[in-house]
Chain A
Amino acid sequence: MTTISKKRLAKELRELQTHGPPTGIAVVSAEDFECWLFTIEVLGNTLYEGEKFCLRFRFPGNYPIESPEVTFVVDEKWGAPVHPHIYSNGHICASILGNEWSPVLSVVSVCLTLQSMLASCTKKQRPQDNDRYVLHAPLSPKKTRFHYDDDTV
């Protein structure tokens, strides 16, 4: 494994430990430099009030040149938020995780973007093609070519 992701993630982890994560975000596990888990809540008066979700980051060896794989955990304990851009298998359709990734983004900035994506949601519903997508979805959403056609949410 290359050292570039380790060095960058070690810095991000130190930052998280000294300044603490942003409001509504909490570290569940960050034991290695391959997979980190966070809980995410949307505070304030939103459709997701009182709900808590779990986000999984998987980092490629050349992170941050390459984007992390970010999904909502779906298991016995956790579920994916009901949102027009989030599939029931936890895959997220967000341009910054796909073709608009930039190496100046970070774990925290991704969390904040997803938090505001939830906060601005006006109608709880699954993506239109949810069932079809989930049935055939690749294991990693990074293998999916999403169309980013809606800037409003």
Chain B
Amino acid sequence: MKVAVKQWHAVAYWKWDTGATTEQDANADEDAEDDVCGICRVSFEGCCPTCKMPGDDCPLIWGQCTHVFHMHCLLKWLNTASSKQQCPMDRRTWVTAERKVDR
């Protein structure tokens, strides 16, 4: 039998590489907490409350302490005096980690 493909429809999805392992991804449904920005509680792949378009327009920011947030959410926090420039998760001084793009 011969099959001729007349039409096809490609579907792709994207995800930020937050360093979560595939095993963690498999458990993502059970423990969705890890996949949301701790400040706005919206998924990393969504956008911060002031943005409309996810992706490069509303990127993530990584700290040397390994914590991840929407960049806009974290900057709003760091711009306040009460933040004392600390990571909201562990209260260590926030140092933005340099990310090497390896893929």
Contacts and interface: CB of A to CB of B under 8 A. Distances in A.
Interface of A: 3-4, 7-8, 11-12, 62, 64-67, 99-104
Contacts of A7: 40, 42, 49
Interface of B: 38-42, 49-50, 73, 76-77, 80, 82, 86, 88-89, 91
Given A101-B82, A104-B89, A64 B49 contact: no
A4 B40 contact: yes
7 contacts: A3-B50, A64-B39, A65-B76, A66-B82, A103-B38, A103-B39, A104-B39
B38 A104 contact: yes
B92 to A, nearest CB: 12
Contacts, number: 40
Contacts of B77: 65, 103
A76 B74 CA distance: 42
Contacts of A67: 82
A103 B91 CA distance: 11
B39, B50, B86, B89: which has the most chain A beta carbons within 10 Å? B39
Given A3-B49, A7-B49, A102-B89, 14 more contacts: A3-B50, A4-B49, A4-B76, A7-B40, A8-B40, A8-B41, A11-B41, A62-B76, A65-B39, A100-B91, A102-B88, A103-B39, A103-B88, A104-B89
Contacts of B39: 64-65, 103-104
A142 B49 CA distance: 25
Contacts of B86: 102
Nearest to A102: B88
Given A4-B49, A65-B76, A104 B40 contact: no
